[in-house]
Amino acid sequence: MVSRFTNILSEYTSKYYLAIGALSSSVVCPALLLAAKKKTKKAVKKALEESTSFHDVASTVWNFPLVVVDSSPVTIGKIIVGIALIVFGFFFSKYLSRKIARNVIRRFIHDKGAVATLETFSFYIFLSILTVFAFNVANVPLSVFTFIGGALAIGIGFGSQNIVNNFFSGLILMMERPLRVGDFVEVDNALGIVESIGMRSTLIRSVGNKHIIVPNSSFLEKAVVNLTHDTNKIRVAITIGFAYGSPVQLIQEILLRAAEEEPKVIKNHKPFVIFRDFGSDALTFEVHFWIRIGQLMDKDVIESNLRFRVNEYVNQAGLVIAFPQRDIHLHQSQPISVKMAS
């Protein structure tokens, strides 16, 4: 076949050179045309041989068996096709689970945490199905997982315990739901909102718009403060110190008035005042009240508004908010001598 193709190509090449010679010159040298014909024939044959050789090498590499499982060889080509399909399946599963969560699940479930959990589980299900499908399309036998499982077990024994621990901790968090997407939690004494619960870690956004990545196992091994586990209503308090000698009953009335007039304080939970302590510099009072939080800054904003009101009413009443001060008493057996330096 190669010889026939070479003869045909060389024939057309000879005609091409004859035509060029006829157009360019009235006298054509037969020896030059013959040499060109032979040279072209050799070049085409060599190119075809190299092309055939490259194709054979590529085919050999593509079909090279890495391992044989159940009399079925797992070749390099099957592995490449399988990996490509799995990568495609990963992104397709993510896209499909997000679409289902946004367009279908949210119509029946209004809890953001439940929607996020169902979205994650649907992603895992789609990814598992597409992974099995990818292996079938690539003609990779499923019994190869026995070999992979053995290698994975060895890897777990040598340092993958943390990854597996975080993965299963994430599944427990999504099933038991002590922590949900949208919850307000305290991490390292910083308030933040849970944005996502992933396979390995949980993403929390703090008040300063900083993202904190926390391993899932930390939420099961340590105590976690979840401010909105059952409801978005929380009780907060602000502390204020007044100078000694201030009328405590008037202070109580002012603090209650400021809390009751704040529009974002829940009205069906009455605020109350606690006389906390006789401090070293002040009489310490606390005013407690209930609020609803939907955004990260809600708590700080409401507390700030209440402090503005308290300061205004205290100034109107002529009271003094205490500040740190010290009285120094000197006991000397003799008067202290004072000298003026010129």
Angle formed at CA 183 by CA 127 and CA 258, multiple of 5 degrees: 165
Instruction: Specify the amino acid at residue 257.
Output: R
Q: 19-75, pLDDT tens digit by residue?
A: 444 444 444 455 544 555 555 555 555 555 555 566 666 777 677 666 665 666 767
Q: Give the model confidence (pLDDT) of 291-332 as tens digits.
A: 998 888 888 999 999 999 999 999 999 998 888 777 777 776
Give me the percent of the chain exceeding a pLDDT of 70: 66
CATH number (3.40.50.300, 3.20.10.10, 3.20.20.140, 2.30.30.60) of 184-226 reads 2.30.30.60
More confident of the two residues 131 and 14: 131
**pLDDT score recorded for residue 78:** 76
CA distances from 289 to 112, 228, 254, 270, 277 (A): 27, 16, 14, 7, 19
pTM, full prediction: 0.55
pLDDT at 271: 93
Q: What is the residue whose two structure tokens read 């490449």?
A: 80
Are 126 and 97 within 8 A, CB to CB? yes
For 321, the 3-state DSSP assignment is: strand
- CATH number of the structural domain 73-176: 1.10.287
Q: Is 43 exposed, middle or buried (0-12, 13-18, 19+ CB in 10 A)?
A: middle
pLDDT at 80 over 50: yes
Residue 184 pLDDT exceeds 80: yes
E strands in 228-281: 233-242, 272-278
Give the mean pLDDT of 207-211.
Answer: 84
What the block records as the tokens of 70 is: 């159940």
The topology (CATH level 3) of 233-317 is Alpha-Beta Plaits (3.30.70)
Give me the mean pLDDT over the 259-286 stretch: 91
